[in-house]
Structure 1
Amino acid sequence: MASRINPHFQQHAPCFALLQLQNPNTLLPSILPPFSSSSSSFPPSSLTIHKMSCYSPSRRSFVTVNAHMTTEEKPVSQNRMLVYVPPHPLIKHWVSVLRNEQTPCPIFRNAMAELGRLLLYEASRDWLPTVSGEIQSPMGVASVEFIDPREPVAVIPILRAGLALAEHASSILPAMKTYHLGLSRDEETLQPTVYLNKLPDKFPEGSRVFVVDPMLATGGTIVTAIEHVKKRGVTNQQIKVISAVAAPPALQKLSDKFPGLHVYTGIIDPTVNEKGFIIPGLGDAGDRSFGT
């Protein structure tokens, strides 16, 4: 059932628009448009929204093991799926470029890559342990922090369209490995089939895994992808999903199956049509990225 929403939300930089999927009895705050879907339902009352600071020095803690390992405390429950919609104007800009049906293929793919860079930046903000120490600069001794290369970080683009969204991942994550997972969706049943699996037999302990899929529509593809990732020894809390556009049916499935998962998306659209396309969405991300 669709419900009318009275917009009342302020974005404060640096803050996220944070959607927290939880108990269906929780009331929906007023940010999102009415939800409806011809292929599946998504109760609007299963969303709550919060504002949270992206960075807070008062929450930083340090553990010494030969060096200083820096981590961020999680300000929210670990057993709820969270959907982050960063309010950065560049994210809105690139989503708008992607939506335009007149955007040519090369510009579309570049826009997808730029959006992926920004979303990965936001998703990795409080997730990458650092090593602290001192180095000699040309003018004196300086205290420094580097990303700890001993901590395994994996990026898994869902082929084809995920390749474009993850194109600039290496410019954001200085120590990472890329694993490819190819899924195709049957146009009649909307069910996914795995045609390429380059995942490792087992991810190293403590791995951080980014699963990159531009369109979270009906949820079949992303759910199948995460199930394959989890078989390799990672938990929901070790996975973050990066998407350009998300829709309620996919978010509901992810929330039901993977509590503790975090999803970062450029925008949430209200509906999915009978063919499994997000409305208004941006069309077929793979076709538009690669001109096919």
Structure 2
Amino acid sequence: MISIHFKLLMTIQLRVYVPPHPLIKHWLGVARDVSTPSPLFKSAMTELGRWLTYETIRDWLPTEEMMIQSPLAACPATMINPEVPLVVVPILRAGLALLEGAQTLLPLASIYHLGLVRNEETLEPSCYLNKLPNQFQPNTHVLITDPMLATGGSMMLAMAELVKRGVDPALTRIISVVAAPPALQKLSSSYPSLTIYTAMIDEIVNDQGYIVPGLGDAGDRSFGT
């Protein structure tokens, strides 16, 4: 597990993890390839959603200790605590492609959709769909899916909408396929207690706001548009 810390304070810092799992590396290569057809690209997004979620929830899911009865004897067991609220927020459209894989591991999580679009000239984001509740329950664990963290504008807007509804950034995790320094630096400045899992960190964001080499437009490639 490659961990990159963007330090803001002595005790609080954004944590960015790049898991070295071979399946994550493989599906990232498939997704990057310009010759990958749309159906296979969407499959790659599903698999990246699955394996990045697997790594993300490894030490994050709330558990409880209990005694159970096996066919032969009583024994201790560690179980997922169903009373702690668990939420997945896909950033539309492209976040839906990661959601499918995430749901295979979190079938009981509530799903709240947030639709954001970026002005291609100003690169400023705006919200066209907000299905978030007015207030989240205390201790809600939130997983955000968004394939690209480029300039950071969309994720900053998403975080602002979540925080004003009671979400604790320290209980929030983001999964992306490719991230870039501008987005990570913005998130680190405003939400240093966040944790991010990504398949790769690319260094360049071009004048059009795309990560290079990146994936291109993950939404268009996922849905064949």
Same fold flag (TM > 0.5): yes
Q: Residue by residue, what CA displacement relative to the aligned partner does 1:200-234 show, whole Å, maximum 9, x if unpaired?
A: 11111001111111100111111101110111102
User: What value does the CA root-mean-square deviation take over the aligned residues?
Assistant: 1.5
Normalized against structure 1, the TM-score is what?
0.74
Q: For residue 166 of structure 1, what is the amino acid of its counterpart?
A: L
Greater CA drift, 123-132 or 215-224: 123-132
Find the partner of 2:78 among 145, 157, 160. Answer: 145
Please name the residue that 1:21 is paired with.
6
How far residue 107 of structure 1 moved from its aligned partner, in angstroms, is 0.9
Task: Determine the C-alpha separation between the residues in 2 that align with 1:78 and 1:155.
Answer: 27
Name the structure with the higher helix share.
2
Q: Does 1:101 align with 2:34?
A: yes
Please name the residue that 1:116 is paired with.
49
C-alpha contact (below 8 Å) 2:48/2:101 kept by paired residues: no
Q: Does 1:288 align with 2:221?
A: yes
- After superposition, residues 119-130 of structure 1 pair within 5 angstroms as 119-130=52-63
Consecutive unaligned residues of structure 2, counting only runs of 5 or more, are none
Aligned identity (percent) is: 54
C-alpha contact (below 8 Å) 1:202/1:233 kept by paired residues: yes
C-alpha contact (below 8 Å) 1:147/1:174 kept by paired residues: no
How far residue 145 of structure 1 moved from its aligned partner, in angstroms, is 1.9
Please name the residue that 1:246 is paired with.
179
Please name the residue that 1:255 is paired with.
188
Matched position secondary structure for 1:119:
helix
Higher relative contact order (CA closer than 8 Å, sequence separation 6+): 2
Task: Determine the C-alpha separation between the residues in 2 that align with 1:272 and 1:123.
Answer: 25
Q: Does 1:192 align with 2:122?
A: no
Q: For residue 147 of structure 2, what is the amino acid of its counterpart?
A: P
Task: Determine the C-alpha separation between the residues in 2 that align with 1:161 and 1:213.
Answer: 6
Find the partner of 2:209 among 273, 276, 285. Answer: 276
Please name the residue that 2:17 is paired with.
84
Find the partner of 1:168 among 96, 101, 112. Answer: 101
- After superposition, residues 223-242 of structure 1 pair within 5 angstroms as 223-242=156-175
- The number of equivalent residue pairs is 225
How far residue 23 of structure 1 moved from its aligned partner, in angstroms, is 5.2
Q: For residue 97 of structure 2, what is the amino acid of its counterpart?
A: A
Consecutive unaligned residues of structure 1, counting only runs of 5 or more, are 1-15, 25-76
Q: For residue 130 of structure 2, what is the amino acid of its counterpart?
A: N
C-alpha contact (below 8 Å) 2:180/2:202 kept by paired residues: yes
Matched position secondary structure for 1:166:
helix
